[in-house]
Amino acid sequence: MKKHIALVPGDGIGPDIVAEAVKVLDVVGKKFGHTFTYDTYLAGGCAIDATGKPLSEETLAGCSKSDSVLLGAVGGPKWDKVASDLRPEKALLGLRGGMGLFCNLRPAILYKQLADACPLKNEIVGEGLDIMVVRELTGGIYFGERGRDGDKAYDTMSYTTAEIERIVRKGFEIAQKRKKRLTSVDKANILNSSQLWREIVEHLASEYPDVAVNHLYVDNAAMQLVRNPRQFDVIVTENMFGDILSDEASQITGSIGMLPSASLRGDSFGMYEPIHGSAPDIAGMDIANPIATILSVAMMLRYSFSMESEAAAIEDSVSKVLDAGYRTADIYTESMKKVGTKEMGDLIAQAL
Ligand code: NAD
């Protein structure tokens, strides 16, 4: 299969970690007989320096016509003082909005090899965690009518049936490919938009009889994530609840350098990126952990290119390298073998 990928390394450690993910993709291509080609685009602070704005038409057009996008991270102290509409992070919103990416997938996986990094007790996490948060990305309170009138300010949470239906369907479809359990999170005891959300989940459930569905109020879901996280397989929820719960879920795994994410729309196109930022404090030092970006590529193969065996091969290689005791500085513990960004990329590529 031939696939053309837009690379958007961005700022800070972005170029370091994207280079390692490309290294791994090229080995997957050779091993499984695929051809991956690439074009590289500017976004974020580096784009401000080169073009005066964080996201150019050229970058958006180039990404839009590719088969999928791999993003590093954007931002850094150099651009902290630019006008708010020119901030590097605007590039992320511009790319997600410009390409209609309404579905954000945030897996929270605790590898058994890294169980010590988890802030929860051993008896709570057991053999490890594997939760997928499916977050609505382009609606809800972040995009609703808002305003300020003297000493009063307001934000509006509103959803249409169509907006809810398309994200809830994604939740069901992803649950079908996993342990077939879907938890829908809302605040239906108070919010009208949540009541509509819950009605739609119940209505769609009959189309996915193989998936067991339950509902949780968002406050209870936040509590259950630390009390009994193993009850969760797939969580589907609206934009703001998903923003908060996906960060909570990722924190209980304890290692920000390990977690990938995907932003999808109705077709196979997607944008894939690690959940962490540009880590300017360690940029260019060959110490950043490239695994979140390498696992983002595994998600790309699974969700955009339907290459399940190839995706699993990357995930297995990561697991093997961890089993062999190799660690970057952020996940290093005593008696392990400390390696840099490039060496970690090499080890995962070799394990393939
Ligand atoms: P950050 O995630 O960049 O860093 C937080 C801490 O985690 C730092 O100590 C960093 O060194 C460490 N870290 C992050 N990724 C790591 C990795 N792969 N390996 C090893 N250590 C890693 O968050 P921050 O410091 O709050 O933000 C830095 C910049 O990144 C800011 O400009 C922020 O706006 C931007 N940011 C961008 C994104 C994105 O592009 N998606 C997301 C979050 C923050």
pLDDT digits over 106-121, tens only?
A: 999 988 888 887 889 8
Residue type, 225: L
Mean pLDDT of 93-100: 92
Locate 136 and state its tokens.
């609505």
Locate 31 and state its tokens.
């091993």
pLDDT in tens, 275-293: 999 999 999 999 999 999 9
Question: Quick check: 181 pLDDT over 90?
Answer: yes
Locate 187 and state its tokens.
């605040």
Binding site annotation covers 26? no
**Mean pLDDT for the chain overall:** 95
Which pLDDT score is estimated for 351? 98
107 ligand 1 Cβ < 6 A: no
Which pLDDT score is estimated for 118? 86
Residue type, 285: M
Closest CA to 269 of 64, 24, 2, 9: 64
The least confident of 35-39, 65-69, 256-260 is: 256-260
Binding site annotation covers 277? yes
Rounded to the nearest angstrom, the distance between the alpha carbon of 64 and the centre of ligand 1 is 26
* Closest C-alpha residue for ligand 1 atom 36: 277
The number of the ligand 1 atom at minimal distance from the alpha carbon of 10 is 40
165 ligand 1 Cβ < 6 A: no
Rounded to the nearest angstrom, the distance between the alpha carbon of 76 and the centre of ligand 1 is 9
Mean pLDDT of 9-25: 98
Mean pLDDT of 46-55: 96
Backbone angles phi, psi at 3, to 5 degrees: -135, 140
Which pLDDT score is estimated for 281? 95
Which active-site residues does the annotation give? 142, 187, 219, 243, 247
Binding site annotation covers 331? no
Which pLDDT score is estimated for 117? 79
pLDDT in tens, 311-336: 999 999 999 999 999 999 999 988 99
* Closest C-alpha residue for ligand 1 atom 5: 279
Q: Which residue has the tokens 């998600």?
A: 299
Residues 352, 32 contacting (CB under 8 angstroms): no
* Closest C-alpha residue for ligand 1 atom 25: 279
SS3 286: coil
Could you write out the three-class secondary structure of 178-203?
CCCEEEEEECCCCCHHHHHHHHHHHH
Q: 273 forms bridges with which residues in the sheet?
A: 261
Task: Considering only the C-alpha atoms of the chain, give the largest distance between any 2 of them, rounded to a whole number of Å.
Answer: 63
Which pLDDT score is estimated for 216? 98
What is 324-337 written as a DSSP string?
TTEE-GGG--TTSE
Tell me the C-alpha distance between 234 and 133, whole Å. 6
Binding site annotation covers 229? no
Class of domain 1-101+290-352: alpha beta
Tell me the C-alpha distance between 323 and 314, whole Å. 14
The number of the ligand 1 atom at minimal distance from the alpha carbon of 290 is 18
Backbone angles phi, psi at 81, to 5 degrees: -100, 5
Closest CA to 159 of 142, 140, 146: 140
* Closest C-alpha residue for ligand 1 atom 44: 277
Q: Provide the pairing of β-strand 2-10 with 35-40.
A: parallel
Domains 1-101+290-352 and 119-252 share a fold: yes
Question: Quick check: 254 pLDDT over 80?
Answer: no
Domain ranges of the chain: 1-101+290-352, 119-252
- H-type helices in the chain, by residue range? 14-32, 45-51, 57-64, 90-98, 122-125, 161-176, 192-205, 218-227, 239-251, 291-303, 308-323, 341-351
- H-type helices in 57-89, by residue range? 57-64
Class of domain 119-252: alpha beta
Which pLDDT score is estimated for 63? 98
Q: How many CB atoms lie within 10 A of CB 254?
A: 17
Mean pLDDT of 245-274: 91
Mean pLDDT of 151-158: 96
